[in-house]
Each structure stands twice: as C-alpha cells, then as structure tokens.
Amino acid sequence: MTSSTPLPGSSGTSTRYRVRHATSYDYGEDVPISHHLLHLTARPHPRQRIRRSLLTIDPVPAVRSDRVDYFGNTVTYVAVQEPHRTFSVIAESEVEVFEPPALAPGDSAPWEHVRDSLRGLSGPDDGAEITQYCFDSALVASSPELLDYARGSYSPGRPAVAAAIDLMNRINRDFAFDPTATTVATPLAAVMRNRRGVCQDFAHIAVGCARAMGLPARYVSGYLRTLPPPGRPRLVGADVSHAWASVWCGAAAGWLDICPTNACIANRDFITIAWGRDYDDVSPARGVLVGGAGHGLTVSVDVEPLAD
C-alpha cells in the first residue's frame, strides 16, 4: 500500500499492481489469416493511474493499430497474415489504483431527482457522456422483469447511492454464482429466471435494473485482486477477469462502482480495463479467422501487488 499523489476525485491511499493476462488459442489446423480486436490495455480514470503497459502478440501481426474507442478504452486491432496453429497475446501492465472517497449511502440526491436532472441533456458539453448509458444495448434490453426487480431497491425518495447499494446486495443474495449455468450467449431473461450465473451476468442485471429506473449505468471489465487465506501464498493464475457495474448517482456523488458478485463497492482491489454499455462493447478478445477446424482456449490472469 502506498500514499501517492492522489488523482482528482480519489483518496491518497493507493495500491500498485503488476498484471499479466495471457490468452492462447490452439487451432486444429493451419489458419491462413485471422483478425482480432483486443480490449486488454488498462485505461486511466479518476482512481487509476497507468504506469506501464505492453502487449506481446505471437505470431507477430502483419498489421497492428491501437486506438481509443468511443467509450475512451484502448482497443488494439491485429491481423495475422501467415499460416499459424496458435495465437497468443500477453498483456502486461503496472497500474496504481486509489481508494475511492468515503461515501455514505445517504450522500446523494433522491434517485428520482438524479433521473429528472438528466432530461433534456444531449450535447457533448452538457451530459451526453452520461445519458448515453440510459438506453438499451445489445445484451441489456429493458424488460418488465428487470423493472419489477429494480423497484425493490428504488423506492420513492430513496437516495441514489443507497438504492444502488441495496440493489447490489439483493443481487448478491438472490442469485447464485455458478460458472456452469451460463455462457456469453445466455440471454439476460434466462439469468433472471434461473437466478444463477457469473460476474458478467450479475453486472448486466445491475446495469439493466438501473436503466429500467431511468438512470445511467455502464458495464465495467477488469480484474479483482484475489486475497489468499491467512498463512497461504497467493496462487499464481488464481486471479480471473472480472466484471461489475457503475451507476450514475448524481453530480455530487458521481459514478458508483458496485460489485454484485462480492457485495462490495469497488475499491483499490479492483483494476479497470474498459467500460461500455455491456460485455459486447468490451470483450477482452474477439476475432474472425479462416479455417482452424475448431480451437482450444487457455486464459491465465495474475494480479501481483507490488511492495513500496
């Protein structure tokens, strides 16, 4: 833990990490050409400083371009134009994450006031960056089920922060973490019906519920530091990609990052890679290839706290 020069909007307490995310595809036959889109570079934001980042790609791509996408995330496009049986990407970074300022559940306006304050905002200088997260997206569409569930937290006059925290806790209590229950293609309606899923599903539910009440909410991808039990070493490879939700709670409180999977507010144990409307905007790796005859996928994520 360090006490570094804080970023605006954060506390002065921070933790530095070294992160290594290795992704490897093994194909059943030669792939003559493949194209890949990668969201694997951590983004700076008011509570996160990027000290170093590196992407190592094998085979070395014939074409590579890095750009900042619509949501402010770093996205890398690569094209491999030689026959290959494997494709691997190692993303390495060193980041410093600051503890968020203390925020009591009542430290915000009633959620209805937050919702109503956004009406009529449309230009880039008057809130459009916030209001764009109010609407349906590819994987999170409005539904009566989401609205009914959200109303259990967003009671009349309740402060926006208190309502978001209650929603987070209810999802954690009502939904079972089950890695076998869903895939990235499982509709959100099925998750709501079966009450089982993984962090991506729970983040989508939180996002959908907030939007159902007229509030902006975005999907956040990244990593969560895994703290080993006392007396046991940190397990290399035990850390995994993670997802949580960020809900707009008004101009005074700002964005509140909530993690339904662990029933906690995102703190300096959370490392942000990208955010968007849902998983479809920020999936770590996606691609199009010719041939391959099927493939195997191996992913390993290591999050190592650094000593002062």
Both 137 and 242 in one domain: the answer is yes
Phi/psi region, residue 151 (left: phi>0; alpha: psi -120 to 50; beta: rest), is alpha
- Number of domains forming the structure of the chain: 2
Cβ density class 103-137: b for 16+ within 10 Å, e for less: beeebbbbbbebbeebeeeeeeeebeebbebbeeb
Domain coverage including residue 188: 111-276
Q: Flag whether 161 is in a domain.
A: yes
Q: Flag whether 91 is in a domain.
A: yes
Q: Flag whether 160 is in a domain.
A: yes
User: Residue 238: its pLDDT value, please?
Assistant: 67
Both 94 and 221 in one domain: the answer is no
Q: Flag whether 2 is in a domain.
A: no
Q: Flag whether 48 is in a domain.
A: yes
Both 238 and 160 in one domain: the answer is yes
Both 81 and 130 in one domain: the answer is no
User: Residue 107: its pLDDT value, please?
Assistant: 81
User: Residue 7: its pLDDT value, please?
Assistant: 46
Both 155 and 288 in one domain: the answer is no
Q: Give the CATH number, domain containing residue 69.
A: 2.60.40.2250
Both 149 and 270 in one domain: the answer is yes
Both 117 and 266 in one domain: the answer is yes
Q: Flag whether 222 is in a domain.
A: yes
User: Residue 124: its pLDDT value, please?
Assistant: 53
Both 188 and 255 in one domain: the answer is yes
Q: Flag whether 166 is in a domain.
A: yes
Both 254 and 272 in one domain: the answer is yes
Q: Flag whether 3 is in a domain.
A: no
Q: Give the CATH number, domain containing residue 227.
A: 3.10.620.30
User: Residue 295: its pLDDT value, please?
Assistant: 83
Both 87 and 210 in one domain: the answer is no
* Torsion angle, alpha carbons of 185, 138, 225, 52, to 10: 120
216-254 tens-digit pLDDT: 999 999 999 877 767 777 766 567 899 999 999 999 999
| Alpha-carbon span 168 to 162, nearest angstrom | 10
Both 119 and 259 in one domain: the answer is yes
User: Residue 290: its pLDDT value, please?
Assistant: 87
| Alpha-carbon span 93 to 42, nearest angstrom | 7
Both 225 and 244 in one domain: the answer is yes
For the chain, list residues with pLDDT below 50.
Answer: 1-3, 6-8
